[in-house]
Amino acid sequence: MDKEILDILKVMQSDMKSMQGDIKSIKTTQEEHTQILRALEHKTDVISAEQENLKHEVFETKGYKING
């Protein structure tokens, strides 16, 4: 009986070590995705600012007044 319990505990320990490795992998992937999302968000902000500048330039070229 004690040997069976010991064997079960060894299997559980092995499974837990495997799960810890999986968790580390998931955390690494999550951190990479977070960095990518932040870079995309920054790029979107840059594009929006450039688009707004172009809009002002078009209005100025056509002679329209821009409020603000």
Q: pLDDT by residue (tens digit) across 18-61?
A: 999 999 999 999 999 999 999 999 999 999 999 999 999 998 88
pTM comes to: 0.64
Q: Give the pLDDT band of residue 62 (cuts 50, 70, 90).
A: confident
Q: Determine the pLDDT at residue 67.
A: 63
Cα 34 to Cα 1, 25, 28, 48, 50: the distances in Å are 49, 14, 10, 21, 24
- pLDDT for 64 equals 74
